[in-house]
Chains A and B, each alone.
Chain A
Amino acid sequence: MSTLARKLPFKPNRMLVQLLLLLLIILFFSFQAPYFLSFTNFMNVLNQMVEVGLIAIPMTMIIISGAMDLSVGSILAFSAVCMGIAFEGGLNIWLSVIVGLLAGLACGAVNGYLIARHRMQAIVVTIGMLVMLRGLVYVLNEGRPVSGFPDAFYFMGQQYIWGIPFNAIFLAVMFLLVTFVMKKTRFGAYVYGIGNNEETVHYSGISVIRTRFILFLLSGLFSALAGVFLVSRLASAEATSGTNIELDVITATLIGGTHIFGGRGSLSGTFVGLLIIVFLRNGLNLLGVSVLYQSVILGILLLIAVGKQKA
């Protein structure tokens, strides 16, 4: 440890570095863009990060377990469109939401069955699902968006409670809930165990298959939830919804310190990672920096963040 570090009253850990980075970003844009540091802007940012945030929860768990799910964006769209079709078919809106969630669970179950039970490579399976489901989404509704949902439904994505967006509150609750699961329950212990040494977990008389299956089921469910929230926020279920969302999700997870080889990581880290990328995007938007340059900057940030991770 360097002498500087020794003089500090605390250990300079990863979390601290991330929080400092977040603070720097917020400070920088506060000076550069006058509108940035306002309650309204912050709340808007929170409102818009919910879909990425919801999916980042299971993604963090899956990456900790040493796997990957690239199909989340397609599951999001598939669930959204299933919900839309159910609604157009005359189903009650809340029942339609349930149809959407079940669609997501079904996709997660297929992923989980192939990956956990048949030990297929997660990346391969989920790329297959990514491509297949996206195609299926277009086939199902011929690429036509569904809209005209009842007002009560827009509550999920558009309502603010005491100035705070409802969906952001929901996201925060989910993060707390799953943080509890990861830290305080045996399921969480299994996930970390599998990410560090799957074979030992298996040899300890614990079902690795079940744990992995549940993880992909959760991923399907949360992707579907994100789909429902997205439709509610944008008032329309579209075939292109969630395209490339997996890249933002994985970027946030990795910047948040979750190890790409599994075994290490935390939801609190992912949460900070999320804030870093959404505030960075938002600030750059306010400065009028083109989306293309934003991608360049995010890419570099990711490389720096993950550059130190070695097997």
Chain B
Amino acid sequence: MANPVLTMEGISKEFPGVKALEGVDFELYPGEVHALMGENGAGKSTLMKILSGVYAPTNGIIRLKGEEVVFRNPLAAQHQGVSIIHQEFNLFPNLSAAENMYIDRPEIAGRFGWLSWSKMYREAQQLVDSIGGGGIDVRKEVRHLGVHSQQVIEIAKALSFQADVLIMDEPSAALPENEVQKMFEVVERLKAQGVAIVYVSHRMKEIFEIADKVTVLRDGRKIATRNISEVTEQSLIRMMVGKEVSQLYPVRPFQQRKETVLQVKQLSLDAAHAVSFQLHKGEILGLFGLPGSGSHTIACRLFGLAKGTGEIGINGKPVQINSPAEAKEMRIAYVPPDRHRQGIIKPLSIRSNLALPILRDLSEGGRLNQEKIKKISQYYMDRLHIKSPNDLQSVDFLSGGNQQKVVIGKWLASKPEILILEEPTRGVDVGAKAEIYNIIHELAQNGLSILLISSEMPEIIGLSDRILVLHKGEFVHEFGHGEADQEQLLKRASNPRLVEGDAV
């Protein structure tokens, strides 16, 4: 095999009080896609930040094409051929794609330091075309481009530095399911051009589809590097978690339908068109659709965040839900998809966060009953196994999984009848995922009716009693207990007409 383009030897990184990385070795060859995996906090992002020049390692050596290098900052790393594409795009929405690509590039300047627009557009277009983004007009403002196109622009921008090494951090996170394939095509092209790609992702399926090799980190140490053909999903999880996670999903036995708790008729607004469904007591009903298919809109409507037409009935009585406060009155709870922005108040304590929705019930004559608040908070800390020394700790210090448990806990404290969960395990590591799945399962067993909205197909399939598939705002299919598999689900959600023998 050829010489490695990049070697990292014995990389260690210490932050005050924490060893983030300990003696990690990493090798990367030209034209390979090398997946980097590990639970949250395993050290993936620290390693990538060292590689891209954000942090300096405490110990260890980085060699690029055999020569030892020290990256003083990300720009220096880029100029030497190491570029990173972050999970969140760093594009200026009001500038054109070309401007975004060349914003920090002096070489595009023409005479007298004036900007040579024609040269910039020409080179930008060439670069974008070369990685298979032929349909994209680089003169367009970025905000008018779709997510996939924006990602192509990010990749092109990274490549404009003549990158030998490209780090892609959760590249599929921002993409709708059907655009992931397009991104893979771009990656394949880069591979063919000899670019070495570090692919950081949580998604197993993608790793097996695109990666040649995989390196697993755990607790700041390298566990192993393997060819992708040598590993299975199970063995990877074992390496990441350090123990066997035999059962990610609890077994949900088939149940007779009980009484209807929530009845929705002809709900319409924005992305949803005349949607009707029923949720039964103790049921987990999965709603699945590609982004923009309307499942998020339905959740917003049911929680009073958006207004629209249609009828909603709870326990047989028609209701109006005009605000989250009214939804809460009707015992509807909503665990929103964006935990950081909508679920928690980071600087505040676990206790304050848990008590927030029910402060009214905890007030006596205008004054908050601190004893009751403490009791409730500690009850949910125990019940949900929120890992923290005490409940006065700020939620900012918790891991993603524990933060998510706080969001679930604060709604359980409101004693809901209907729980809407949207992306309940986004950014949560495998261990905590299993715990959250068990909690959801238990809640349903105890009679809570749950509407589960998720873009992770295994999650929807593993947890739901029934699954309703949305396509462009309409229900196109219902899977009964145990009927769905990933392929069927995706087919129905992408283009229901392709499914044969099915009159939709």
* Interface 9-residue window, one of B103-111, B161-169, B247-255, B341-349: B341-349
Q: Among residues 132 to 190 in chain A, which have CB atoms less than 8 Å away from a CB atom of chain B? A: 184-186, 189-190
* Interface 9-residue window, one of B54-62, B135-143, B358-366: B358-366
Q: Among residues 175 to 219 in chain A, which have CB atoms less than 8 Å away from a CB atom of chain B? A: 184-186, 189-190, 192-193, 196-197, 199-207
The distance in angstroms between the C-alpha atoms of A200 and B324, with both chains bound, is 11
Q: Is A263 an interface residue (CB 8 A)?
A: yes
> A-facing mask of B330-366, CB < 8 A → 1, else 0?
0000101000011111111000100011011011001
Residue of B nearest to A210 (CB): B325
> In the complex, which residues of chain B have a beta carbon less than 8 angstroms from the beta carbon of A184?
367-368
> In the complex, which residues of chain A have a beta carbon less than 8 angstroms from the beta carbon of B360?
186
Q: Is B153 an interface residue (CB 8 A)?
A: no
> A-facing mask of B125-158, CB < 8 A → 1, else 0?
0000000000000000000000000000000000
> In the complex, which residues of chain B have a beta carbon less than 8 angstroms from the beta carbon of A189?
352, 356, 359, 368
The distance in angstroms between the C-alpha atoms of A303 and B329, with both chains bound, is 46
> In the complex, which residues of chain A have a beta carbon less than 8 angstroms from the beta carbon of B346?
196-197
The distance in angstroms between the C-alpha atoms of A184 and B363, with both chains bound, is 9
Out of A185, A193, A197, A263, which one reaches B341, CB within 8 Å?
A: A197
Q: How large is the interface on A (under 10, 10 to 19, 20 to 34, 35 or more residues)?
A: 20 to 34
The answer to whether B345 and A197 touch across the interface, beta carbons within 8 angstroms, is: yes
The answer to whether B341 and A202 touch across the interface, beta carbons within 8 angstroms, is: no
Rounded to whole Å, the gap between the CB of B303 and the closest CB of chain A is: 8
Rounded to whole Å, the gap between the CB of A199 and the closest CB of chain B is: 5
> In the complex, which residues of chain A have a beta carbon less than 8 angstroms from the beta carbon of B324?
202-206
The answer to whether A199 and B352 touch across the interface, beta carbons within 8 angstroms, is: no
The distance in angstroms between the C-alpha atoms of A202 and B341, with both chains bound, is 11
The distance in angstroms between the C-alpha atoms of A190 and B303, with both chains bound, is 20
> In the complex, which residues of chain A have a beta carbon less than 8 angstroms from the beta carbon of B366?
185
Rounded to whole Å, the gap between the CB of A52 and the closest CB of chain B is: 28
> In the complex, which residues of chain A have a beta carbon less than 8 angstroms from the beta carbon of B281?
none
> A-facing mask of B299-330, CB < 8 A → 1, else 0?
00001010000000000000000011101110
> In the complex, which residues of chain A have a beta carbon less than 8 angstroms from the beta carbon of B327?
205
Most chain B CB within a 10 A radius of its CB, from A199, A200, A264: A200
The distance in angstroms between the C-alpha atoms of A204 and B341, with both chains bound, is 12
Rounded to whole Å, the gap between the CB of A93 and the closest CB of chain B is: 32
Across chains A and B, the number of contacting residue pairs, with CB separation under 8 Å, is: 69
Q: Is B410 an interface residue (CB 8 A)?
A: yes
The answer to whether A199 and B363 touch across the interface, beta carbons within 8 angstroms, is: no
The distance in angstroms between the C-alpha atoms of A196 and B346, with both chains bound, is 8
The distance in angstroms between the C-alpha atoms of A190 and B357, with both chains bound, is 10
Out of B303, B325, B363, B368, which one reaches A207, CB within 8 Å?
A: B325
Residue of A nearest to B360 (CB): A186
Known: A185-B367, A189-B368, A206-B356. A196 touches B325 (CB 8 A): no
> In the complex, which residues of chain A have a beta carbon less than 8 angstroms from the beta carbon of B303?
203
The answer to whether B328 and A205 touch across the interface, beta carbons within 8 angstroms, is: yes
Out of B329, B344, B348, B359, which one reaches A186, CB within 8 Å?
A: B359
Out of A185, A197, A206, which one reaches B357, CB within 8 Å?
A: A206
The answer to whether A263 and B342 touch across the interface, beta carbons within 8 angstroms, is: no
> In the complex, which residues of chain B have a beta carbon less than 8 angstroms from the beta carbon of A196?
345-348
The answer to whether B356 and A201 touch across the interface, beta carbons within 8 angstroms, is: yes
Rounded to whole Å, the gap between the CB of B297 and the closest CB of chain A is: 15
Most chain B CB within a 10 A radius of its CB, from A203, A207, A264: A203
The answer to whether B348 and A203 touch across the interface, beta carbons within 8 angstroms, is: no
Most chain B CB within a 10 A radius of its CB, from A190, A206, A207: A206
Most chain A CB within a 10 A radius of its CB, from B325, B327, B341: B325
The answer to whether A200 and B345 touch across the interface, beta carbons within 8 angstroms, is: yes
> In the complex, which residues of chain A have a beta carbon less than 8 angstroms from the beta carbon of B323?
205, 207
The answer to whether A204 and B356 touch across the interface, beta carbons within 8 angstroms, is: yes
Residue of A nearest to B367 (CB): A184
The distance in angstroms between the C-alpha atoms of A264 and B334, with both chains bound, is 27
The answer to whether A200 and B328 touch across the interface, beta carbons within 8 angstroms, is: no
> In the complex, which residues of chain A have a beta carbon less than 8 angstroms from the beta carbon of B359?
186, 189-190, 206
The distance in angstroms between the C-alpha atoms of A201 and B334, with both chains bound, is 13
The answer to whether A205 and B345 touch across the interface, beta carbons within 8 angstroms, is: no
The distance in angstroms between the C-alpha atoms of A190 and B334, with both chains bound, is 19
The answer to whether B343 and A205 touch across the interface, beta carbons within 8 angstroms, is: no
The answer to whether A203 and B343 touch across the interface, beta carbons within 8 angstroms, is: yes
Out of A185, A193, A202, which one reaches B348, CB within 8 Å?
A: A193
The distance in angstroms between the C-alpha atoms of A207 and B344, with both chains bound, is 16
> B-facing mask of A44-70, CB < 8 A → 1, else 0?
000000000000000000000000000
Known: A196-B348, A204-B357, A205-B328. A186 touches B363 (CB 8 A): yes
Known: A184-B367, A189-B368. A203 touches B345 (CB 8 A): no
The answer to whether B325 and A263 touch across the interface, beta carbons within 8 angstroms, is: no
The distance in angstroms between the C-alpha atoms of A251 and B474, with both chains bound, is 56
> In the complex, which residues of chain A have a beta carbon less than 8 angstroms from the beta carbon of B343?
200, 203
Rounded to whole Å, the gap between the CB of A34 and the closest CB of chain B is: 47
Rounded to whole Å, the gap between the CB of B305 and the closest CB of chain A is: 8
The answer to whether B367 and A203 touch across the interface, beta carbons within 8 angstroms, is: no
The answer to whether B342 and A200 touch across the interface, beta carbons within 8 angstroms, is: yes
The distance in angstroms between the C-alpha atoms of A190 and B352, with both chains bound, is 10
The answer to whether B341 and A200 touch across the interface, beta carbons within 8 angstroms, is: yes
> In the complex, which residues of chain A have a beta carbon less than 8 angstroms from the beta carbon of B305?
203
Residue of A nearest to B362 (CB): A186
Known: A186-B359, A202-B324, A206-B325. A197 touches B344 (CB 8 A): yes
Out of B329, B336, B347, B362, which one reaches A203, CB within 8 Å?
A: B336
Rounded to whole Å, the gap between the CB of B397 and the closest CB of chain A is: 15
Most chain B CB within a 10 A radius of its CB, from A192, A193, A205, A264: A205
The distance in angstroms between the C-alpha atoms of A192 and B346, with both chains bound, is 12
The answer to whether A199 and B342 touch across the interface, beta carbons within 8 angstroms, is: yes
> In the complex, which residues of chain A have a beta carbon less than 8 angstroms from the beta carbon of B356?
189, 193, 200-201, 204, 206
The answer to whether A203 and B363 touch across the interface, beta carbons within 8 angstroms, is: no
The distance in angstroms between the C-alpha atoms of A215 and B329, with both chains bound, is 24
> B-facing mask of A261-289, CB < 8 A → 1, else 0?
00110000000000000000000000000
> In the complex, which residues of chain B have a beta carbon less than 8 angstroms from the beta carbon of A207?
323, 325
> In the complex, which residues of chain A have a beta carbon less than 8 angstroms from the beta carbon of B352?
189, 193
Question: Residues of B at under 8 Å CB distance from A?
Answer: 303, 305, 323-325, 327-329, 334, 336, 341-348, 352, 356-357, 359-360, 362-363, 366-368, 410, 414
Known: A184-B367, A186-B363, A200-B344. 19 other contacts (CB 8 A): A185-B368, A186-B362, A186-B368, A189-B368, A193-B345, A196-B346, A197-B345, A197-B346, A199-B341, A199-B342, A200-B356, A201-B345, A203-B324, A204-B357, A205-B323, A206-B325, A206-B359, A207-B325, A264-B347
The 4 closest A-B pairs by CB, nearest first: A205-B328, A186-B359, A205-B324, A204-B357
A-B contact pairs, 18 of them (CB 8 A): A184-B367, A184-B368, A186-B359, A186-B362, A186-B363, A189-B356, A193-B356, A197-B345, A200-B343, A200-B356, A201-B345, A203-B324, A204-B324, A205-B325, A205-B328, A206-B325, A206-B359, A207-B325
